[in-house]
């Protein structure tokens, strides 16, 4: 956007608006002045919109919900636990929290040391949090 052009268009819009207001009931002057002001404002708006950097949405993540994969992850022991936690991380990211950090390695190590019942309780807690998300 050229600065001089912007100043000229703003001046035209302001002068046209002032002339349209000042002319009162004289429609032969008010209407063309108002049209000129609106056109100048529209050109300014188009230039601003053209130069605006609109945010681009990130790619949508598709999380596999294959029951066979989930069953094999449950049967996969310690490595299956990590896979299930990572799947929950991806689910949370795709369910409206795209900036949610992945589970840190220290937390994954702690999850590996949980008993079977404690791990299932951890999964139930994570799933209940995920289900409550809008």
> What tens-digit pLDDT sequence spans the chain (134 residues)?
678 888 888 999 999 999 999 988 888 889 999 999 999 999 999 988 888 877 776 655 565 667 888 888 888 888 888 888 888 888 888 777 778 788 899 998 998 899 989 999 999 998 888 888 76
Q: How far apart are CA 118 and CA 121, in angstroms?
A: 5
Sign of CA dihedral 115, 120, 121, 122: positive
106 neighbors 93 (Cβ within 8 angstroms) = no
47 neighbors 1 (Cβ within 8 angstroms) = yes
| Whole-Å CA distances, 83 to 45, 63, 118 | 50, 12, 17
93 neighbors 61 (Cβ within 8 angstroms) = yes
pTM of model > 0.95: no
């Amino acid at each position: 956007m050229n600065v001089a052009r912007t100043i000229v268009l703003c001046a035209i819009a302001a002068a046209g608006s002032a002339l349209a207001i000042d002319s009162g009931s004289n429609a032969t002057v008010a209407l063309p002045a108002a049209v000129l002001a609106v056109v100048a404002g529209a050109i300014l708006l188009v230039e601003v919109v053209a130069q605006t950097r609109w945010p681009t949405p990130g790619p949508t993540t598709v999380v596999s919900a294959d029951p066979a994969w989930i069953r094999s992850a449950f049967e996969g022991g310690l490595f299956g636990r990590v896979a299930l936690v990572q799947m929950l991380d991806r689910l949370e990211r795709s369910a409206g929290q795209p900036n949610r950090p992945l589970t840190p390695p220290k937390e994954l190590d702690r999850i590996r040391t949980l008993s079977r019942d404690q791990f299932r309780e951890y999964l139930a807690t994570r799933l209940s949090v995920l289900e409550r998300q809008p």
